[in-house]
Structure 1
Amino acid sequence: MSNGQALIVPVNGLNTHAWVRGQGRPLVIVPGLGCASWMYVRLARELARERRVFVYDPPGHGASEGRPDYPVCISHLTDHLAAWLEVMDLGAVPLLGHSLGGEVVIDVAARYPALVSGLIACAPTGIPENPSVRMQLLRLMRDLPRERPGLLGPGLRAYTRSGARRMLRLARDQEVHMTGPLLGRVRVPTLLLDGRSDPVIRSWTVRRIQQDLPDAVVCQIPGAPHALTDTHPRAVAGFTLEFLREEGL
């Protein structure tokens, strides 16, 4: 990631990587399923105009170490992120999660509230009504032509690094892992970002999450597909920075 600095720290015996760029108050980006820090360069560049941005690689993703048996469920991702935040000693920090990363940051806010000051969930997964893994894969195939061609190479590299077996096990865990019951325990300001051209996470999904987070703010981005953090980085950053300023975070 150009104009950034690689930071590697041990967390529960695994070397955990993040790219850091910018100055100011911290903000952590949490990638989606199989994704890696290098897929969020465009968003990090925009956010770093006002914030010190940490683009975290979950274990077994990007440049972070994993094990064959770890992570294989969403609670592994949640607990590791919480442990990394404690090691980094950032205090209560805003978290921006994309797709499965949105589900993970909601989990962290519910289960480790002292570590989180605010949430930005972009096209978040995590409700019981999410479709089967097969249907999600079909929706992803529909989404691919809508994405920026320049993301294909970095995306394939990230998915190869994570591995099909790990990604499938994490995706299957979504069918039993329900963020819904945890939403009532979230006590921090929350922004939900909805890509209006996203066939993977439909607008009704975002509205369904908001039902259990009545104080959450929903912003829609016209024309944005599932990887809205890459195709519409200025819009995502603009909504995020405005939200953080208004909430004093």
Structure 2
Amino acid sequence: MTARATFLTVNGLRTHAWRRGSGPPLVIVPGLGCASWMYARVARELGRTRTVFVYDPPGHGYSEGRHDYPVCIEHLTDHLAAWLRQAGLEGVSIFGHSLGGEVMFDLAARYASCPTALIACAPTGIPENPSVRVQLLRLLLDLPSERLGLLLPGLRAYTHCGLRRMLLLARDQEVHMTGPLLGRIEVPTLLLDGLADHVVQSWTVTRIQADIPDAVVRQIPGGTHALTDTHPRAVARYTLDFLEQLGQ
């Protein structure tokens, strides 16, 4: 099935998403500066048994943003919650990559009716994450391991989002997530850990698991930070197995 684009006006901003596949719905939330087009490979695999909605946060991809919005993670979470309600997708499974995982955790803690299950792929989400400068250094170390075909789409996405917005959102990570907030998550949670990820390392995933009751970890050997692109079949297999076991 070919992808279909949709646009909704959410909080005054024209918001883009695209969908493909058939079956129970699953929403993908991109990482920092990333755009929906960077998740085509994993969406194709997930779309074999799911209706996959790939959402562009405000100021990302084809979605509008403002100079002053979004500049913190709560802005991203509030917009996602509003978009889910408006799209008729409240109460579905959510898949978040990198910062999208942190946004998804925030959503589950503050908007408990929105998700029924969480799949966090290479997620951020603890205040012990290193400074913005160290995160950028780790990203540079990770880039040579990524698929060459992702670099140009990724550069296009980062350019569209803008350095200022990305820095403001990255700085907010240092103060945003706390253990008690993760402890408020009451839906089944899967954490996907790429063992070759320089950006979000395994100790971060282990710490998040300790704070989310009954969270499950699956490790992907050779998985880089963009393991949705480098290992889409493994990511999809673990995700679909997890949801099927839940009966979702």
Q: Which amino acid aligns with 2:87?
A: M
Shift of 1:91: 3.4
- Provide the residue aligned with 2:198 in structure 1: 199
Q: Distance in 1 between matches of 2:53 and 2:11?
A: 19
- Extract unaligned runs of 5+ from structure 2: none
> Which segment drifts farther, 206-215 or 176-185?
176-185
Shift of 1:179: 4.2
Q: Secondary structure at the match of 1:8?
A: strand
Alpha-carbon contact 2:3-2:18 (below 8 Å) kept: yes
- Provide the residue aligned with 1:14 in structure 2: 13
Q: Distance in 1 between matches of 2:37 and 2:168?
A: 23
Q: Which amino acid aligns with 1:166?
A: R
Q: 1:48-83: CA deviations, max 9, x gaps?
A: 000000000000000000001100000000000000
Q: 1:164-201: CA deviations, max 9, x gaps?
A: 01001100111111143211110000000000000111
Alignment of 1:91-240 (within 5 A): 91-240=90-239
Shift of 1:242: 0.4
Alpha-carbon contact 2:185-2:213 (below 8 Å) kept: no
Q: Distance in 2 between matches of 1:248 and 1:116?
A: 14
Alpha-carbon contact 2:28-2:95 (below 8 Å) kept: yes
Q: Which amino acid aligns with 2:100?
A: G
Q: Distance in 1 between matches of 2:43 and 2:180?
A: 31
Shift of 1:21: 0.5
RMSD of Structure 2 on Structure 1 (CA): 0.9
- Provide the residue aligned with 2:55 in structure 1: 56
Q: Distance in 1 between matches of 2:169 and 2:213?
A: 28
- Extract unaligned runs of 5+ from structure 1: none
Distance change (3 Å), C-alpha of 1:240 and 1:57: same
- Provide the residue aligned with 1:32 in structure 2: 31
Q: Distance in 1 between matches of 2:243 and 2:51?
A: 13
Q: Which amino acid aligns with 1:231?
A: T
Q: Distance in 1 between matches of 2:125 and 2:187?
A: 18
Q: 1:137-186: CA deviations, max 9, x gaps?
A: 00001000000000001000000110001001100111111143211110
Alpha-carbon contact 2:33-2:161 (below 8 Å) kept: yes
Q: Provide runs of 4+ in structure 1 moved above 6 Å.
A: none
Alpha-carbon contact 1:107-1:179 (below 8 Å) kept: no
Q: Secondary structure at the match of 1:80?
A: helix
Q: Which amino acid aligns with 1:192?
A: L
Alpha-carbon contact 2:42-2:229 (below 8 Å) kept: yes
Q: 1:73-123: CA deviations, max 9, x gaps?
A: 000000000000010112310000000000000110111011110000001
Q: Secondary structure at the match of 1:201?
A: coil
What TM-score does the superposition give when structure 2 sets the normalisation length? 0.98
Alpha-carbon contact 1:24-1:52 (below 8 Å) kept: yes
Q: Which amino acid aligns with 1:52?
A: T
